[in-house]
C-alpha cells in the first residue's frame, strides 16, 4: 500500500543529486514521474534506470531551464493528467565571493534560478493544482535560508526567499487544499559544491572534510515521506542536518 501509487510527480532539477534521488524514490513508491532539467541526456539515463527497475511506472522527461518563464509555462502545459506533487528542487550556488567582490553573472544565475525560476514553476503548477482542487508542493529550501554565512550572501538570500515564498503560498492555499512543505537540508554531497566551485573537485571535497555529509537519498526519503502523509495533515517544515552539523555555520570536523 502506498499513498503515492499512480500519482503524478513533477520534479525540477531531476538530472542529478537530490532531484534524481527523488525520481527513484517516488518511482519505488509507485508514482509516475515527470523529470525536468537542462541536461536531457542525464534525464534519459535516469529514465532508463527507472524503466529497468520499476517497469510499471511511467516516466516523462522535459528539457527545461527554469529561468525561462515561457518555457516553464509550456512545460507544465505539456504534462497531461493531474500534477499531484511538485518537487520544486532545481537550484544552485555559484562562487564564494564576499559582498564587495560579487560577480554579476553569478548573482543573476542564482537569483534567476533559485528565486525567479522557483516562482515561475510555482505559478504554473499552483494554477493547475487549483483547477484540480488538490496538490502538494515540496520546496527545496536550505538551512542557508535560516542564517547567512560569510561568502554565501547571494545563495543564502535566495534560500531565504524560498522560505518566504513557501510561507506566502501556504497562506494562499489553505482553503484549496494545496499542501506546501519546505525541506531545509544542511550538507548533502551531490554535484552542488562542484557546481559552486566551477568544477574544482578538490575545493568541493574540502567542504565535507572531517564529517559525513548527508546523501541525496537521505533527502529524497524525507521528500517522499512528506508527500505521502494522510491528507488531513501536512509536514510543513523540515530541517535536516548532517550528524556533525548544528547549523549552517557550526560543524564539528574530525581532524
Ligand atoms: P546538484 O547540482 O546535484 O543538482 C542541481 C539540479 O538542479 C540539477 O539537476 C540541475 O540540472 C538543476 N538545475 C540547475 N539550474 C537549473 C536551471 N536553470 N533549470 C533547470 N534545472 C536546473 O545539487 P543538489 O541536488 O544538491 O541541489 C538540489 C537542490 O537542493 C538545490 O535547490 C539546492 O540549493 C538544494 N540544496 C542542496 C544542498 C546540498 O548541500 N547539496 C543543501 C540544501 C539545499 P541541469 O544542470 O541539468 O539543469
Ligand atoms: C546548501 C547547504 O550549508 O552548504 O544549501 O549552504 S549549505
Confidence bin at 1 (pLDDT 50/70/90): low
**Which ligand 2 atom is the nearest neighbour of the CA of 207?**
4
Phi/psi of residue 8, nearest 5 degrees? -105, 125
Using DSSP's 3-state secondary structure scheme, residue 192 falls into helix
Q: What is the mean pLDDT of residues 27-44?
A: 98
Q: Fold for 8-251, please state it.
A: Rossmann fold (3.40.50)
Q: How far is the CA of 165 from the centre of ligand 2 (A)?
A: 19
Given ligand 2 and candidates 17, 142, 149, 191, which is best to mutate, with the most ligand atoms within 8 Å of its CB? 142
Question: Are 141 and 195 in contact, with CB atoms under 8 Å apart?
Answer: no
Q: Residue with C-alpha cell 538570500? A: 157
Quick one: DSSP state of residue 238?
A: E
pLDDT digit string, tens, across residues 88-102: 999 999 999 999 999
Q: Residue with C-alpha cell 509516475? A: 32
pLDDT digit string, tens, across residues 200-235: 999 999 999 999 999 999 999 999 999 999 999 999
Confidence bin at 240 (pLDDT 50/70/90): very high
Question: Are 8 and 34 in contact, with CB atoms under 8 Å apart?
Answer: yes
Instruction: Take residue 70 and report the three cell numbers written for it.
Output: 515561457
Question: Are 85 and 138 in contact, with CB atoms under 8 Å apart?
Answer: yes
Question: Are 251 and 197 in contact, with CB atoms under 8 Å apart?
Answer: no
Q: How far is the CA of 54 from the centre of ligand 2 (A)?
A: 32
- Percent with pLDDT over 90 in the chain: 98
Q: Could you tell me if the CB of 193 is within 6 A of ligand 1?
A: no
The gap from C-alpha 205 to its chain's centroid, in whole angstroms, comes to 22
Residue 20 CB: number of other CB atoms within 10 A? 26
Q: Residue with C-alpha cell 538530472? A: 15
Question: Are 19 and 73 in contact, with CB atoms under 8 Å apart?
Answer: no
DSSP string, 20-44: HHHHHHHHHTT-EEEEEES-HHHHH
Q: Residue with C-alpha cell 554565512? A: 149
Instruction: Take residue 29 and report the three cell numbers written for it.
Output: 513508491
What lines the ligand 2 site, CB under 6 Å? Answer: 142-144, 152, 186-187, 248
Phi/psi of residue 153, nearest 5 degrees? -55, -45
Looking at the chain, how many residues does it have? 255
Residue 152 CB-half CA count within 13 A: 20
Q: How far is the CA of 16 from the centre of ligand 1 (A)?
A: 7
Residue 134's pLDDT is what? 97
**Which ligand 1 atom is the nearest neighbour of the CA of 38?**
48
Q: Give the relative orientation of helices 118-132 and 153-172 as an angle to the nearest 10 degrees.
A: 10
pTM of the model: 0.98
Amino acid at each position: 500500500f502506498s499513498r503515492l501509487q499512480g500519482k503524478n510527480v513533477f520534479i525540477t532539477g531531476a538530472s542529478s543529486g537530490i532531484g534524481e534521488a527523488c525520481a527513484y524514490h517516488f518511482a519505488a513508491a509507485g508514482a509516475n514521474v515527470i523529470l525536468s532539467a537542462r541536461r536531457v541526456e542525464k534525464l534519459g539515463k535516469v529514465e532508463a534506470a527507472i524503466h529497468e527497475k520499476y517497469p510499471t511506472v511511467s516516466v516523462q522527461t522535459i528539457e527545461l531551464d527554469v529561468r525561462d518563464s515561457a518555457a516553464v509555462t509550456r512545460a507544465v502545459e505539456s504534462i497531461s493528467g493531474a500534477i499531484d506533487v511538485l518537487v520544486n528542487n532545481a537550484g544552485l550556488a555559484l562562487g564564494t565571493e564576499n559582498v564587495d567582490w560579487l560577480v554579476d553573472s553569478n548573482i543573476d544565475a542564482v537569483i534567476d534560478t533559485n528565486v525567479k525560476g522557483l516562482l515561475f514553476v510555482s505559478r504554473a503548477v499552483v494554477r493547475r493544482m487549483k483547477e484540480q482542487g488538490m496538490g502538494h508542493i515540496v520546496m527545496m529550501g536550505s538551512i542557508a535560508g535560516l542564517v547567512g554565512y560569510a561568502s554565501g550572501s547571494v545563495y543564502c538570500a535566495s534560500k531565504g526567499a524560498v522560505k518566504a515564498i513557501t510561507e506566502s503560498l501556504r497562506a494562499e492555499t489553505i482553503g484549496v487544499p494545496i499542501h506546501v512543505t519546505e525541506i531545509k537540508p544542511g550538507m548533502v554531497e551531490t554535484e552542488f559544491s562542484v557546481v559552486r566551485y566551477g568544477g574544482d573537485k578538490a575545493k568541493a571535497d574540502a567542504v565535507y572534510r572531517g564529517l559525513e555529509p548527508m546523501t541525496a537519498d537521505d533527502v529524497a526519503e524525507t521528500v517522499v515521506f512528506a508527500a505521502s502523509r494522510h491528507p488531513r495533515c501536512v509536514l510543513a517544515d523540515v530541517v535536516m542536518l548532517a550528524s556533525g552539523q548544528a547549523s549552517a555555520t557550526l560543524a564539528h570536523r574530525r581532524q
